[in-house]
Structure 1
Amino acid sequence: MDMYKKILVVVDPTRNEQKALKRAIELATRLTESAGEAVNITAFFSIFDFSYEMTTILSSSERDAMRQMVIKDKQQWLDDKVKELAPSLDIQSEVVWHNRPFEAIINQVIEHDYDIVIKGTHQHDKFKSVVFTPTDWHLLRKCPTPVLLVKEHEWPKDGNILAAINVGSDEEEHLSLNNKITEQASKLADLIDANVHLVNSYPGTPVNISIEIPEFDSTEYNNAMLKHHQDSMKEHANKFNVDPSNTFVEEGLPETVIEQVAQKIDAELLILGTIGRTGISAALIGNTAEHVIDHLNCDVLALKPDGYISPLAE
């Protein structure tokens, strides 16, 4: 199984607990055992201190020297942290100076052909909820590789993976992404001994239609819409040998349906697609998506359509 041969892990230097690095080690270990081929991990983060850029006391060369001292110090911390968590693994590490973390991460991906980015999400102590940072959202929208955002949920044996798909669309981009999401879910399920579940939402009758056209039969419309999505889901599930009892077709907003199903099955991982440069679309639509994923106590793996090119690469 050669789905991920090069993993870039984004380390948080402000925290002692490095859940993203632990998840990367877990994933790489399983991949190596499965494929019999070593998986490369690079631990990475960027730093920036505006005061070094603004001071007029130092010359340009002195500022460069100061930056290099800071980088060297952080590099030593990172090397120590890697050895502490994985003394037997050969994990590379790199610290760079950059004022926009998401750009530094995506530049690394593009320059070194990484297959996946793994990053932890922040815990909001006051409410004990996970808060996605601007860096997370930039990565979801602009990173050309899959992005795995790690939370607190373990990956237990015989756990559940939830794949959010859009079976109601006939657009080639959506159909292709549905296949990609489900293939990824199946491969990961085999790798970590989990069960694949599929979820799809469909819209109810638009309120304005019922008001403007009194003779409009909303029940008939809803039934027809439900049947269309159920038939499409059955066909898609059969193609990937997913048990029909592990499929969910629900009326409602995608973000609401996904959250409810993820909680119902206690998913350890949600896999969804992001389409286009405007960020999450198709699987999740609108600003509420951010709040929904924040509320889920599971990892989130976001995939891009085939052929996606990051705006940073253009």
Structure 2
Amino acid sequence: MDRYTNLLVAIAPEQEEQPALSRAILIARKSDAPVKLTLFLAIYDLSYEMTSMLSTDERQAMRSGVIKQREEWLESLLENHDAVNLEVERHVVWHNRPYEAMVSQVLEGGHDMLLKATHMHDKLGSVIFTPTDWHLLRKCPCPVLLVKDHDWPENGKILTAVNVSSDNETHIELNDKLIAESNAMASLLHAEVHLVNAYPATPVNITVELPEFDPASYTDAVRGHHLLTMKTLRQKHCIDDNLTHVEEGLPEDVIPQVAEELDAELVILGTTGRTGLSAIFIGNTAEHTIDQLNCDLLAIKPDGYVSPLAPKSD
């Protein structure tokens, strides 16, 4: 069964190069089922809203004119991509918060994947002014594919980050979902699925405060636990031992390192959609990982996730 047949493609304004569109077309070409692409562009110009000399109708007419121009530009973009015989819609909206417009379209259009090109973010700026990518990782209910420049070769590698340190039912279910999504992408791309898990290093302060504490034994015990739970997970999903990686360190360091060693074309991980102060101070693994990757990232929400931007039911 094809999982991705209704793709929402975020178009980067004023750019002829559109990696997300190229990736969406690739998925459509490889899929056994018909795939619909919706090209999405959110535009906004404050100067149109600030002009007091124009009436409401005149402002609306000017906005409509700009939207029509951008729709024509989207049409010209398609001419530079091999979209022949594909079902493609174009959707341009006037909205000053692109991520809100994208999530609204996902909810209204029932899209099963959102694709968006990404780039390196300034780390300090990312904390103060949260980029659109981070908002999407936190609030978009469907899988988000953040596209970089790495190719998707045939018989490539997909790296899936799993959490085997917890027996929490939510984490167990999310691991299963991540592997199912990985297998679906692997089938589409004829790729090989690898699993990666990071386990924490021994806290330095423990060895100072407890002189009798044996850090080597502690580290061996932690590693042994992670290896055992990874074995249980891989056997559950019939994955070979040589395709699993258990490494010491922080996930945001280990995942990019293993991805680079494998020359992976895609990293898949789960994101809980943490928002508010906890997101600012704790952050999400996906957000810390994305800037260090040189390949695409597919972020998956757990089952039952409800976007904070979804309309509230009575």
TM-score by length of structure 1 reads 0.91
Q: Which residue of 2 aligns with 1:69?
A: 65
Q: Which residue of 2 aligns with 1:127?
A: none
Q: 2:110 aligned with 1:113, yes or no?
A: yes
1:253, distance to aligned residue in structure 2 (A): 0.8
Q: 2:111 aligned with 1:148, yes or no?
A: no
Secondary structure at 1:221 match in 2: helix
Secondary structure at 2:291 match in 1: helix
CA distance, structure 2, for counterparts of residue 278 and residue 97 of structure 1: 25
Matches for 1:264-283 after TM superposition, within 5 Å: 264-278=261-275
Two-structure CA RMSD over aligned residues (Å): 1.9
Give every structure 1 segment of 4 or more consecutive aligned residues whose post-TM-superposition deviation is greater than 3 Å: 285-292
- Unaligned runs of 5+ residues in structure 2 are 122-128
Secondary structure at 2:92 match in 1: strand
Secondary structure at 1:311 match in 2: coil
Q: Relative to structure 1, is the Cα distance of residues 73 and 114 closer, same or farther in structure 2, using a 3 angstrom cutoff?
A: same
Q: 2:11 aligned with 1:8, yes or no?
A: no
**Is the deviation greater in 296-305 or in 133-142?**
133-142
- Unaligned runs of 5+ residues in structure 1 are 125-131
Instruction: Check the 8 A contact 2:120/2:291 in 1, yes or no.
Output: no
Q: Which residue of 2 aligns with 1:39?
A: 35
CA distance, structure 1, for counterparts of residue 138 and residue 27 of structure 2: 23
Q: Which residue of 2 aligns with 1:178?
A: 175
Secondary structure at 1:163 match in 2: strand
Q: Which residue of 1 aligns with 2:124?
A: none
Q: Deviations over 1:250-304 (max 9, x none)?
A: 111111111110110001000000014239x9xxx64886454212110000000
Q: Deviations over 1:31-57 (max 9, x none)?
A: 2x2xxx311110111000000001101
1:122, distance to aligned residue in structure 2 (A): 3.2
**Is the deviation greater in 82-91 or in 209-218?**
82-91
CA distance, structure 1, for counterparts of residue 166 and residue 91 of structure 2: 42
Identical-residue share of aligned pairs (%): 56
CA distance, structure 1, for counterparts of residue 20 and residue 13 of structure 2: 12
CA distance, structure 2, for counterparts of residue 156 and residue 289 of structure 1: 23
Q: Which residue of 2 aligns with 1:309?
A: 306
Q: 2:220 aligned with 1:210, yes or no?
A: no
**Is the deviation greater in 94-103 or in 211-220?**
211-220
Q: Deviations over 1:73-123 (max 9, x none)?
A: 101111221243113322111100000000000000011111110011136
Instruction: Check the 8 A contact 1:270/1:300 in 2, yes or no.
Output: yes
1:160, distance to aligned residue in structure 2 (A): 0.6
CA distance, structure 1, for counterparts of residue 165 and residue 174 of structure 2: 13
CA distance, structure 1, for counterparts of residue 130 and residue 29 of structure 2: 28
TM-score by length of structure 2 reads 0.91
Instruction: Check the 8 A contact 1:116/1:148 in 2, yes or no.
Output: yes
